[in-house]
């Protein structure tokens, strides 16, 4: 059976089990086992691979970070600071729809694993009086959280693309910035009109802006501390390997201390935040995602897809669009589709394009790859957001279809425009 059909059937399994109200982490572990067995591994090898990926350092660190984000969100809720963040932002916002889109977008400037979970409580607080579905809240938070990653140079996917394409950072940023405009337009056209405007347009004062910035201090702290530590470790020679997520964890811990102190939270309130029942479920989801993704990568199924596209004589332009889309769908992460598909694309284009001409192909590949990632059932931000709002899996997917198709068309037009300009 072609590898593409295997991927489709495995993803269908995840969706079918989810519809039966089976916990998501069980769905993902089951899909990982099915994929391992289907790609020729023995039951023992499959179980061993799943266990090794589940308890890998990356999986455990990621679970710790996600739990830390949940605890910080719970502390903000216990101190009612989350409500104050939303209310003070509303004072400087032109309307509730703008608030719904802007809060996830602001958090999206911070490259963090599962960052949509950070903004989800803000969206929940904003949407409380708007009477919109759980699925719509899920997709608004998910969609607008990801408008920057096409060009924002703090994201690993962009940095890897710049390295692989061997071009200057500003060239890729300039070429791919319009993709963000297309994603923004897709959200404005297809998602926000479903949200009623409940507030009146108002003009903020300096005091309103100051109050909002003060309430945002914990989040601003996370950004500043992360970047400060990133710079510091480049100048310090540690006698051990500095874990890549440790800076983020330190920043989150210091932000929690600030929240506890400034909100004068009691021991009981802190305990409620630390031992919330959602943290264990979320940790299991993270470990299951890492296990499933690890099995997909180790099974070499993406290589099989690449081979199939070649032997079926698919046109080069379609390969450059389809391959990243499938890789994004499989890996659910930008660095995943860039790392697996861009080397193949570069090899295909070798000798055919020169210098900045490759930028138009990069726009096509990145735009399609990112939409594949956004549609991936193993995308961490999608899963944690859906789980936070307790939204329906299929219902949430339906809301993604129109803006996704819009962005794919927009990306294709950008590609054609780039080819006309760059050659």
pLDDT digits (tens, 9 = 90+) for 379-404: 888 988 998 898 988 899 899 999 99
Res 350: pLDDT: 67
Q: 370: pLDDT confidence band, cut at 50, 70 and 90?
A: very high
Res 284: pLDDT: 84
Q: Which of 247, 276, 305 is the last residue of a domain?
A: 276
Res 112: pLDDT: 65
Q: Is residue 215 part of a domain?
A: yes
Same domain, residue pair 104 and 215: yes
Same domain, residue pair 244 and 311: no
Could you give the number of structural domains in the chain?
A: 2
Same domain, residue pair 297 and 261: no
Q: Is residue 268 part of a domain?
A: yes
Does residue 340 contact residue 327 with C-beta atoms inside 8 Å? yes
Res 196: pLDDT: 83
Question: CA-based Rg of the chain, rounded to a whole angstrom?
Answer: 22
pLDDT digits (tens, 9 = 90+) for 398-409: 999 999 999 999
Q: Which two tokens stand for residue 170?
A: 């500003």
Q: Which of 276, 292, 321 is the last residue of a domain?
A: 276
Q: Is residue 199 part of a domain?
A: no
Q: 209: pLDDT confidence band, cut at 50, 70 and 90?
A: confident
Check residues 182 and 358 and name the one with the higher pLDDT.
182
Q: Is residue 198 part of a domain?
A: no
Residues 101-129, mean pLDDT to the nearest whole number: 80
Same domain, residue pair 391 and 406: yes
Q: Which residues of 97-125 are buried (b: 16+ CB within 10 A; e: fewer)?
A: bbbbbbbbbbbbebbbbbbbbbbbbbbbb
Same domain, residue pair 107 and 219: yes
Same domain, residue pair 29 and 76: no
**pLDDT > 80? residue 162:** yes
Q: How many CA atoms lie within 13 A of 71 on its CB side?
A: 20
Same domain, residue pair 243 and 343: no
Q: Which of 234, 256, 276 is the last residue of a domain?
A: 276
**pLDDT > 80? residue 259:** yes
Same domain, residue pair 115 and 260: yes
Q: Is residue 347 part of a domain?
A: yes
How far apart, in whole angstroms, are the C-alpha atoms of residue 350 and residue 338? Answer: 17
Q: Is residue 144 part of a domain?
A: no
Q: How many CA atoms lie within 13 A of 147 on its CB side?
A: 24
Give, as one character, the DSSP assignment of residue 132: -
Q: Is residue 298 part of a domain?
A: yes
pLDDT digits (tens, 9 = 90+) for 23-59: 878 888 888 898 888 888 889 988 999 999 888 887 8
Check residues 6 and 423 and name the one with the higher pLDDT.
6
Res 111: pLDDT: 64
Same domain, residue pair 356 and 225: no
Q: What is the mean pLDDT of the chain?
A: 84
Q: Give residue 382's domain range.
A: 3-54+281-422
Same domain, residue pair 288 and 389: yes
Q: Is residue 62 part of a domain?
A: yes
Same domain, residue pair 267 and 223: yes
Same domain, residue pair 248 and 295: no
């Amino acid at each position: 059976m072609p590898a593409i059909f295997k991927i489709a059937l495995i993803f269908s399994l995840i969706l079918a089990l989810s519809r039966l109200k089976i916990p998501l982490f069980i769905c993902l572990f089951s899909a990982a086992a099915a994929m391992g067995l289907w790609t020729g591994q023995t039951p023992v090898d499959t179980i061993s691979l799943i266990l090794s990926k589940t308890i890998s350092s990356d999986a455990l660190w990621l679970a710790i970070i996600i739990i830390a984000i949940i605890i910080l969100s719970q502390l903000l809720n216990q101190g009612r600071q989350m409500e104050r963040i939303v209310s003070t932002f509303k004072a400087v916002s032109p309307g509730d729809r703008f608030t719904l889109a802007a809060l996830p977008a602001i958090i999206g400037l911070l490259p963090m694993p599962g960052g949509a979970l950070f903004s989800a409580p803000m969206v929940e607080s904003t949407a409380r009086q708007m009477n919109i579905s759980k699925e719509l809240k899920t997709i608004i938070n998910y969609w607008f959280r990801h408008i920057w990653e096409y060009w924002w140079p703090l994201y690993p996917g962009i940095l890897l693309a710049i390295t692989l394409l061997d071009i200057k950072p500003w060239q890729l940023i300039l070429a791919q910035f319009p993709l963000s405009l297309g994603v923004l337009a897709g959200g404005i056209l297809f998602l926000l009109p479903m949200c009623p405007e409940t507030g009146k347009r108002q003009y903020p004062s300096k005091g309103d802006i100051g109050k909002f910035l003060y309430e945002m201090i914990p989040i601003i702290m996370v950004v500043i501390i992360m970047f400060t530590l990133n710079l510091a470790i480049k100048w310090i020679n540690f006698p051990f390997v500095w874990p890549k997520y440790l800076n983020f964890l330190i920043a989150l811990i210091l932000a929690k201390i600030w929240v506890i102190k400034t909100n004068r939270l009691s021991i009981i309130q802190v305990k409620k935040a630390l031992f919330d029942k959602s943290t264990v479920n979320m940790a299991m989801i993270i470990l299951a995602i890492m296990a499933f993704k690890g099995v997909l990568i180790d099974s070499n199924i993406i290589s099989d897809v690449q081979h199939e596209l070649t032997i079926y004589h698919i046109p080069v332009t379609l390969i450059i669009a389809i391959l990243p889309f499938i890789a994004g769908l499989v890996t659910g992460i930008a660095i995943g589709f860039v790392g697996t598909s861009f080397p193949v694309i570069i090899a295909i284009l070798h000798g055919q394009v020169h210098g900045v001409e490759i930028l138009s192909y990069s726009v096509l590949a990145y735009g399609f790859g990112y939409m594949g990632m956004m549609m991936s059932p193993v995308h961490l931000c999608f899963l944690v957001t859906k789980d936070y709002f307790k939204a329906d899996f299929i219902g949430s997917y339906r809301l993604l279809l129109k803006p996704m198709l819009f962005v794919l068309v927009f990306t294709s037009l950008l590609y054609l425009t780039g080819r006309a300009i760059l050659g």
